[in-house]
Amino acid sequence: MAISDYYGAEPDEISPFEDGPAVRGGTVAGFIATLLTSIAIVAVDISMLSDTIAGMYGFQNALAIGLATHLVHGTVFGAIFALVLTDPSLAKVTNSLWKTALAGVVYGLVLSLVATGFIMPVWVDFVGVSTIESMPYVTTSLVGWHALYGLVLGAMFPFLEKV
């Protein structure tokens, strides 16, 4: 049974593990969500990709590397989202599109706080990139970008889980 088949089903009738985790769908949804988020980042603050994210890997002024690594990160986090949603206790969350989209937004906000708020500042400091001023590193733009990522991820996942 696919998540998209759950809509309208009673929670006791749902078996998220019937077909196994929908990792490929989460991976594809994560890639698409990251691509759209990357476009928003380029429109607002291109240095986030070209300096900060590329800088995590020792590169500065390298938009292609920043974009590529950002796409990899977001794709992997999409697969993790899919694994989380296959937990049987979350069947009530995944039985409607709006709940899955909301779960994606919450997931994106948690990523914003944990990944960019704490992990990224430590990482860029370790590699000697000075693009982040403080920790936790949480800005309105970062929160907005990760909420967008989560919304797209959560909204697309039910349609792509069988990819």
Domain with 99, as residue range(s), is 27-160
**Residue 95 is assigned to a structural domain of this protein:** yes
**Residue 2 is assigned to a structural domain of this protein:** no
**Residue 13 is assigned to a structural domain of this protein:** no
Comparing C-alpha atoms, which of 13, 15, 21 is closest to residue 1? 15
**Residue 3 is assigned to a structural domain of this protein:** no
In angstroms, rounded to a whole number, what is the distance separating the alpha carbons of residues 118 and 107? 16
Q: How wide is the angle at C-alpha 130 spanned by C-alphas 40 and 44, nearest 5°?
A: 15
**Residue 45 is assigned to a structural domain of this protein:** yes
What local confidence, expressed as pLDDT, does residue 67 receive? 97
What local confidence, expressed as pLDDT, does residue 21 receive? 59
What local confidence, expressed as pLDDT, does residue 91 receive? 75
150 Cβ neighbours under 8 A, 6+ residues apart: 33, 104, 105, 106, 107, 108, 109, 111
**Residue 18 is assigned to a structural domain of this protein:** no
In angstroms, rounded to a whole number, what is the distance separating the alpha carbons of residues 112 and 103? 14
pTM to 2 decimal places = 0.83
Tens of pLDDT along 8-37?
Answer: 545 455 444 445 558 899 999 999 999 999
Tally of domains in the chain: 1
**Residue 21 is assigned to a structural domain of this protein:** no
Give me the helices (H) in 21-127, please. Answer: 23-45, 47, 54-55, 63-85, 97-111, 120-127
CA 16 to chain centre: 21
What local confidence, expressed as pLDDT, does residue 157 receive? 92
In angstroms, rounded to a whole number, what is the distance separating the alpha carbons of residues 63 and 20? 37
**Residue 7 is assigned to a structural domain of this protein:** no
What local confidence, expressed as pLDDT, does residue 154 receive? 95
In angstroms, rounded to a whole number, what is the distance separating the alpha carbons of residues 47 and 54? 9
Per-residue pLDDT for the chain (163 aa), expressed as one digit of tens each?
A: 444 454 554 545 544 444 555 889 999 999 999 999 999 999 999 999 999 899 899 898 999 999 999 999 999 999 999 999 888 888 787 778 999 999 999 999 999 999 989 998 888 888 887 767 778 888 999 999 999 999 999 999 988 876 6
